[in-house]
Structure 1
Amino acid sequence: MGVLRLFASRLAQGLLLVLAVVVLNFVLVHSAPGDPVETIAGASGGMSPELMADLRKQYGLDLPFHTQLGIYLAKVASGDLGYSYYFNLPVSQMILERVPATLLLVLSAVFTAFVAGTLLGVLSSRKPNGLLSQAITVLSLVGFAAPVFWTGIMLVLLFASVLPILPVSGMRSPDPATGSLADMLDVLHHLILPMVTLAVIYLAQYSRLARSSMLDVLGSDYIRTARAKGLAEGVVLYKHALRNALLPVVTVLGLQFGNVLAGAILVETVFNWPGLGRLAFDSVLRRDYPTILGVLLFSSIVVIVMNMVTDLCYRLIDPRIKTS
């Protein structure tokens, strides 16, 4: 019952936050410089003033700002995200078509960073002053300091000219493989470089955080008691210490999911990955307001859901945490 009450409370807070995000996104996007109709006119080689006025009327851009906001909120409440100014397709359809590619990239990068970073943090905490710990620390600092787009560009240069063994663009080969298994392997082959690029910076953060948390836990009384009982070092590290040390890492993972989505925009642009990030980048250049707002809304919902899942995961990791 306590879990259900917690879930209901988080759900109500999430809905209010989504409403605030929708309003704020609409205000910011429409306050940005640029005119969608002028962008369309420039892309098509020019338009008459009459046609541009008709387009503004068709898109509702001639209405007062508060009226546009009210119409948009009513459409979002009914599940209608509108039509793209540039692609002339339903925004919800374009988002659904690109969600799998973005989720594949983001979830694989987060999983890789979380697992590898935690393991590196545990290894470096065993001998904090050892050579392995110092090497992991240096690699973590380098990975954290390198901008994600710079890492992607360096990997593109490396594997496009020096070691041409991995694809550096797209999600599939120009000649698609036949068969579901061959297609899956082709996608995974293209996924390696974007996933590594996005995972490196977060792997560095998780390894440093896991190392610091493990050092604190390993100095606790119950760890000394477990070792005094003669338990194997692996049992002490991974069964007793790691479970408590994971709480800060899980917290940061949930809170940084929005940053991962933001990083995915840069990664998808560098590697031409056909996901939401690439769609958002193209829509910003074309002043495609409905598409921009749709992508922002979807990303906000994903971040809010991840924060709710993080709260619920605390009880699974540490039963001492109460829902109150």
Structure 2
Amino acid sequence: MKRLPRLLRALRRTALQAVPTIIGIVILNFFLLRLTPGDAADVLAGEAGAATVETLTALKAKFGFDLPVLHQLLAYLSNLAQFSLGVSPRYNQPVADLIAARLPNTLALMGVALLLALLIGITLGAVMASTAGRLPDKVLSVLSLLFYSIPSFWIGLMLIVLFSVKLGWLPSGGAQTIGAGLAGWEAVADRARYLVLPATALALFYVAIYARLTRSDMLEVKAQDHVRTARAKGLSPFAVTTGHVLRNALIPVTTMAGIHLAGLMGGAVVVETVYSWPGFGRLAYEAVMGRDFQVLLGILLLSSLLVVAINAAIDVLQAWLDPRIEVR
């Protein structure tokens, strides 16, 4: 019960910091995208084979691209004030509907990838710290370095070659079996099969980071006084490792996990493209290619909100892991 006020203070502090941050991100993203040459009208006219001056003028007037930049910004902010992300010129649909259709897939991919990275990375790091300087530590250190050095798209392609082409165990792309008509647990198992390879490809880079970070932090915590006191009290090595060493070593790991959320989103763009995964990372790629800045602004705004929410959760988790952390 004593921790509850501290947790509430952590949430309040994050919320107060989030509002100006989000506003700044929205305005900055808007002006940065406007510096990009071309817009959706140019792309649509070019694809239709009707890129005449009159056609371009009519399209730009229809979508409001002929207005001054400040007027466009005010119109966009007005839409946001009404909880609207606008309408996509390319898809002719509300941006919120486009993102809502793709968001669950991306959240599932990121969630599973982050969970795999944390579980495997922390486990490997604990093993490396327990066998520091011995053969298991050296072997796992080399594997971690390999995972860290290899690009995620190459890992994704190699996983397809091995598990889809050679072994035939897992599908190479998509999110579910088309036309199968599955329901209940069968549908969940089917989607899980399609999720294994992209989540693994996205997670392996972060496995290396969390393993190395857990190893170094555990070795540092082991040398502290409270750990020696716990050993002197007669606690078992397992109790000392889990209750005193690992718990304190998790604080920097959780901090890095929050920081890596944006990196996971960036990696999702590549992984979703490789595996034809229908998430909003792939939607962002399509929006870039089609100069659909309305969709891009919606994706960037939602990504910023997700990062803020995860950071709030990390603050609360750290306040729970270590009561010594002061939250003002």
**TM-score interval for Structure 1 and Structure 2 normalised by the shorter chain:** over 0.9
Letter aligned with residue 195 of structure 1: A
Would you say the 8 A contact 2:39–2:293 is kept in 1? no
2:90 to 58, 70, 86: 86
Distance in 2 (CA, whole Å) between partners of 1:168 and 1:43 is 30
Query: Which residue of the partner structure matches residue 115 of structure 2?
Result: 111
Would you say the 8 A contact 1:152–1:197 is kept in 2? yes
Query: Which residue of the partner structure matches residue 258 of structure 1?
Result: 262
Query: Which residue of the partner structure matches residue 137 of structure 2?
Result: 133
Would you say the 8 A contact 1:37–1:56 is kept in 2? yes
Would you say the 8 A contact 2:7–2:320 is kept in 1? no
Distance in 2 (CA, whole Å) between partners of 1:163 and 1:4 is 51
Distance in 2 (CA, whole Å) between partners of 1:168 and 1:6 is 42
Would you say the 8 A contact 1:177–1:186 is kept in 2? no
CA positional deviation for 1:308:
1.5
Question: TM-score of the superposition, structure 1-length normalised?
Answer: 0.97
The residue correspondences of 1:152-301 to structure 2 (distance < 5 A) are: 152-301=156-305
Distance in 2 (CA, whole Å) between partners of 1:112 and 1:3 is 26
The residue correspondences of 1:10-49 to structure 2 (distance < 5 A) are: 10-49=14-53
CA positional deviation for 1:264:
0.7
- CA-based RMSD of the aligned residues comes to 1.3
Would you say the 8 A contact 1:125–1:211 is kept in 2? yes
Distance in 1 (CA, whole Å) between partners of 2:304 and 2:15 is 14
Letter aligned with residue 235 of structure 1: A
| 2:111 paired with 1:121 | no
Distance in 2 (CA, whole Å) between partners of 1:71 and 1:198 is 37
The alpha-carbon distance between structure 1 residues 6 and 159, as it changes in their structure 2 partners (threshold 3 A), is closer
Structure 2's unaligned 5+ residue stretches are none
Q: Percent identity?
A: 38
Letter aligned with residue 192 of structure 1: V
Distance in 2 (CA, whole Å) between partners of 1:14 and 1:316 is 21
Q: How many residues align?
A: 324
CA positional deviation for 1:131:
1.0
Would you say the 8 A contact 2:45–2:55 is kept in 1? no
Distance in 2 (CA, whole Å) between partners of 1:69 and 1:106 is 31
Question: TM-score of the superposition, structure 2-length normalised?
Answer: 0.95
Distance in 2 (CA, whole Å) between partners of 1:259 and 1:317 is 24
CA positional deviation for 1:50:
2.4
SS at match of 2:111: helix
Would you say the 8 A contact 2:7–2:319 is kept in 1? no
Q: Which moved more, 1:314-323 or 1:183-192?
A: 314-323
Structure 1's unaligned 5+ residue stretches are none
Q: Which moved more, 1:269-278 or 1:71-80?
A: 71-80
